[in-house]
Amino acid sequence: MNDRAANPFAVTKSAPSNAVAESHSQREAQEVQAMMVIAKRFPRDQMAAMDRILQACTRPTLAEGALYSYNKGGSDVTGPSIRLAEAIAQSWGNLQFGIRELSQSNGESSVEAFAWDTETNTRQVKVFQVPHIRFSRKGATRLEDPRDIYELIANQGARRLRACILGVIPGDVVECAVKQCETTLTTTADTSPDAIKKMIDAFAAFDVTQANIEESIQRRIDTITPALMVRMKKIYASLRDGMSSPSDWFKGAESNRAAPSSVSEQKAQAAQSASRQRAADAGVDAASVIAKLNECVDATADRDAVTELWSRLSKQERAAVGPGAFEEALSNCFNPEAKQEGEQNG
């Protein structure tokens, strides 16, 4: 008879595991250990890293896309874009960052954005869901092409990746980079007729006309100053990255949308009207759907939360209010990262 108590620290035999998965896990663990060892052996020179960041910010091509601006409380708020965040991370050194798709099922992907300072062991991680749906003025379109899904995930993950990178980089480093980019833009701002024409053509993609721009800058377009040109570039970056909508900056921009001229557009509008009528016949209350969107905006001020709510609505509910209600809800979200949570281990 054995009266000896079991050793709680004894090594127990584990169940058979997948050899490929175990090998992959061991390789990842070894890579992580190697990165941490190299980071400790070759620590960053902060002075040299800061010089590299400031030198990069003197390039006009980087400075033009480095800053975005959005309107909040009647004043312009400027911040670093994902392009500037990536440039800072590359020059700071000993930093791993990226976007990783964790799983894909039921028409949506679970995605992780991360930034990890291997020298200080500070890590920021954000996990979020991306429905495979693209929203436009013509309504919601479910995506089936893997390339379209990849581009949607990359676009949705860019803002989270930006937040992760800025969460591990010291704030004063980011502020210095932003100031250098503003200086570069001011000293290299091109106000030639060709540059003005390029700017007008760029804003035309967002239904913003030359008259809208002139009303915003309170002068004729041919007398624009370098400072105003810099401001317009920040606004364009904000529109391009989805941080704001044209109506936030230009009065009457929404009314510039042309009436449907082609037969296909007319048919699309007729089909949308028929969908709204069927929704009304089914007893769907458009006011209650709009109330749901407004409650989500008031509670989160998060574009992604509004997008997720829109994807969960039934076809009848979406048809009852139309894509215009969704776009209006998005335009009321000025801080898409205010409610995101990250984890930091130092």
Report pLDDT digits (tens) over 136-170: 767 788 888 888 899 889 888 988 999 999 999 99
Question: Domain check: are 89 and 129 in the same one?
Answer: yes
Q: CA 342, CA 161: separation in Å to the nearest integer?
A: 11
Question: Domain check: are 163 and 41 in the same one?
Answer: yes
Question: Domain check: are 51 and 169 in the same one?
Answer: yes
In a domain, 317, yes or no: yes
* Structural domain harbouring 211: 190-250
What does the pLDDT read at residue 345? Answer: 40
Residue after which a domain boundary falls, among 145, 177, 209: 177
Range name among 10-14, 170-174, 251-255, 257-261 with the lowest pLDDT average: 257-261
Question: Domain check: are 168 and 44 in the same one?
Answer: yes
Question: Domain check: are 97 and 125 in the same one?
Answer: yes
Q: CA 325, CA 328: separation in Å to the nearest integer?
A: 5
In a domain, 244, yes or no: yes
Contact present, 341 and 259 (Cβ < 8 Å): no
Question: Domain check: are 216 and 105 in the same one?
Answer: no
Question: Domain check: are 286 and 194 in the same one?
Answer: no
Number of domains in the chain: 3
The alpha carbon torsion through 21, 26, 27, 29 (nearest 10 deg) reads 130
Question: Domain check: are 168 and 203 in the same one?
Answer: no
Question: Domain check: are 136 and 195 in the same one?
Answer: no
Question: ∠ CA(130), CA(20), CA(11), 5° rounding?
Answer: 110
Q: CA 195, CA 184: separation in Å to the nearest integer?
A: 16
What does the pLDDT read at residue 71? Answer: 67
The mean of the pLDDT values for the chain is 78
Region 17-26 average pLDDT: 70
Region 178-184 average pLDDT: 91
In a domain, 194, yes or no: yes
In a domain, 35, yes or no: yes
Top mean pLDDT of 19-28, 71-80, 89-98, 136-145 is at 89-98
In a domain, 315, yes or no: yes
What does the pLDDT read at residue 332? Answer: 63
**Residue carrying structure tokens 């090998």:** 23
What's 295's DSSP letter?
H
